Amino acid sequence: MEVDSWYALSAPARTPKAIIDRLHREVAAILRMPEIRERMLNAGLEPAGQSGEEVTRLIERDLKKWGPVIKRAGIKID
């Protein structure tokens, strides 16, 4: 069995692309800082700094993988 967990930042649906691009650049720069990278690695996290499109594909992949499991198990959001 393989289970991955991940964290991502998100913004409201109609956030202008220029703002999204800047957020991506700034967060990617922070994730490249040696002290931040070291702290994350020590916590068992692997900083990636993926683009919005890559995160969208990741979400779609996880929905395809876990959607049927969630449905079969009858899991509901309270």
Q: What does the domain layout of the chain look like in residue ranges?
A: 15-47, 50-78
pTM over 0.75: no
Kindly report the three-state secondary structure assignment for every residue of the chain: CCCCCCCCCCCCCCCCHHHHHHHHHHHHHHHHCHHHHHHHHHCCCCCCCCCHHHHHHHHHHHHHHHHHHHHHHCCCCC
Per-residue pLDDT in tens (0 to 9) along the chain, 78 residues? 777 888 898 899 999 999 999 999 999 999 999 999 999 999 999 998 888 888 889 999 999 999 999 999 999 988
